[in-house]
């Protein structure tokens, strides 16, 4: 089993361009697995972890409700935002500047074959990272992602998640609000959940800006431990 994960920071990149890149990596891993099964080739499958920041964009998961987007095409254009229906789970979410997006593209057969465990470990990575900033983050029953003040009238989501998996290969991932413009969430019903707020790390800490590079390092540290992986940092 190959437990090495190639880590790459794509910087700021268009959503569709990144999605296409994910799909290409995903397909390469799937193709290798098919070849191994059909030809007993014994080829090693690769694992990847992509960091990226997207320009303003709204994405709707395959089971999402279009009515949760509160803007029409003209209003989207006025806000400098784009919109895509995509092939992950979950409903609607927003990506934009000041948000750390992570796309692990893993062959889970290199680690464990349990999607539920995979999602819980991604949540745990976020929870442990936020605890380093003094925040008591938690899961909310029946709602994938990471929240603050769960079970109170002040519950607010700080990290959204949505994944796709086929033949135990994952894609898509998480979006952690670090220095996000929360006004853009007013244009959707986030994840299709009414009556709950969204927050960002800088808001919770009362800072103008949080060091995103530092947050990424903390995320990778916890990810490596939780998945018992080796990280290969790519330029």
**What are the residue numbers of the active site?**
191
How is residue 62 written in tokens?
A: 């395959």
**66 labelled ligand-binding:** no
Query: Pseudo-torsion of CA 133, 131, 6, 14, nearest 10°?
Result: -60
1: Cα within 13 Å, side-chain hemisphere: 13
The verdict on whether residue 175 carries a ligand-binding annotation is: yes
Provide the H-helix boundaries in the chain: 15-39, 73-78, 115-131, 201-205, 212-226
Asked if residues 231 and 220 have their Cβ atoms less than 8 Å apart, the reply is: yes
Cα(158)–Cα(204) distance, integer angstroms: 10
Residue 94 annotated as part of some ligand binding site: yes
142 labelled ligand-binding: no
Please indicate if the annotation marks 32 as binding a ligand: no
Phi, psi of 103 (to 5 degrees): -120, 95
98 is in an annotated binding site: no
222 a known binding residue? Answer: no
Phi/psi class of residue 100: alpha, beta or left (left: φ > 0; alpha: ψ in -120 to 50)?
beta
162 assigned binding-site residue: yes
On whether 72 is known to bind a ligand per the annotation, the reply is no
CA pair distance 8, 27, nearest whole angstrom: 18
Query: Is 100 annotated as belonging to a binding site?
Result: no
Asked whether residue 167 is marked as a ligand-binding residue, the answer is: no
Binding residue numbers: 88-95, 160-162, 173-175
Q: Which residues are annotated as a binding site for substrate?
A: 88-95, 160-162, 173-175
């Amino acid at each position: 089993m190959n437990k090495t994960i190639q880590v790459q920071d794509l910087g700021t990149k268009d959503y569709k361009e990144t999605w296409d890149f994910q799909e290409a990596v995903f397909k390469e891993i799937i193709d290798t697995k098919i070849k191994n099964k059909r030809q007993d080739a014994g080829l090693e499958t690769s694992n990847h972890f992509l960091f990226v920041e997207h320009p303003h964009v709204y994405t709707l998961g395959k089971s999402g409700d279009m009515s949760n987007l509160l803007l029409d095409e003209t209003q989207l254009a006025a806000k400098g935002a784009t919109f895509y229906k995509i092939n992950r789970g979950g409903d609607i979410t927003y990506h934009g500047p000041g948000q750390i997006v992570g796309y692990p593209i893993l062959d889970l057969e290199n680690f464990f074959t349990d999607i539920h465990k995979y999602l819980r470990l991604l949540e745990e990575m976020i929870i442990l990272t936020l605890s380093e900033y003094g925040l008591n983050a938690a899961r909310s029953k029946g709602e994938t992602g990471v929240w603050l003040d769960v079970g109170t009238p002040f519950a607010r989501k700080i990290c959204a998640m949505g994944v796709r998996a086929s033949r135990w290969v994952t894609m898509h991932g998480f979006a952690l609000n670090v220095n996000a413009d929360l006004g853009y969430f007013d244009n959707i019903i986030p994840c299709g959940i009414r009556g709950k707020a969204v927050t960002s790390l800088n808001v919770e800490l009362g800072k103008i800006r949080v060091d995103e590079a530092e947050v990424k390092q903390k995320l990778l540290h916890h990810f490596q431990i939780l998945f018992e992986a080796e990280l290969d940092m790519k330029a």
